[in-house]
Amino acid sequence: MPKSSRRLTRHLAAAAVTIGMLATSVIATASPAGATAPLGTKSLASVLASDGDTFDRNWYDYDVLTQAVGAVLAAKPNSPVKVLADGTVPLTAFLPSDRAFQRLAKDLTGKTYRSESQLFSRLAGLLGVNTIEAVLLYHVIPGATINSKTALRSDGARLATALPGGTIKVDVLSRRCRLIRLIDADRNDANPLINPRAFDINKGNRQIAHGIWLVLRPIDI
């Protein structure tokens, strides 16, 4: 296993020990913020599965992410990741595309996987369920429905993620061009940009998401 992969697994395994405590805290803090909160209760999990939940040749949708969520919940039904299937709980999620996971695998293994199914199998075997769970939770901001309008006015904001101790900084590069960079914990690699064409997925509901072009990294790998 490459050194960077071992480091990622080791650090996130430690974080995963405390993940179980999030199951109640996420729900406890995720209440609608007054009358302005979205009223819809369609979950992000149902949105992710709406394209058939299968691997394909479109690297710009979210099949790898969907399969990762399913794998975690199959192995750990009470994982805090299940909040993505409860549309009554407000949250904001950043969704890495299949291409984003392909780039992560390239960084970890030095190999470019040309098949989504092979890519997922390799990442699952390399990282394990607990590490995948931790990475997924780092992409979730519990208790807040942050739409694009709010995000573009939040330059410099630090968002607390569902991963214990995890934070993401919002860096608005251009409000006019709708360019936002998310600064993660990996200081030696590129930070994800929100795809300007993938803002406000599931808009009008308590759970909202924005597509990103790279996977957020909760540690420096």
Read off the pLDDT of residues 98-128 as tens digits, 9 standing for 90 and up.
Answer: 999 999 999 999 999 999 999 999 999 999 9
Q: Is 138 exposed, middle or buried (0-12, 13-18, 19+ CB in 10 A)?
A: buried
Q: How many CA atoms lie within 13 A of 204 on its CB side?
A: 2
Report pTM: 0.85
Q: Distance from CA of residue 134 to its chain's centroid? A: 10
Q: Which residues contact 88 (CB under 8 A, 6 or more apart)?
A: 41, 206
Residue at 13: amino acid letter = A
For the chain, what's the residue count? 221
| pLDDT the model gives residue 51 | 73
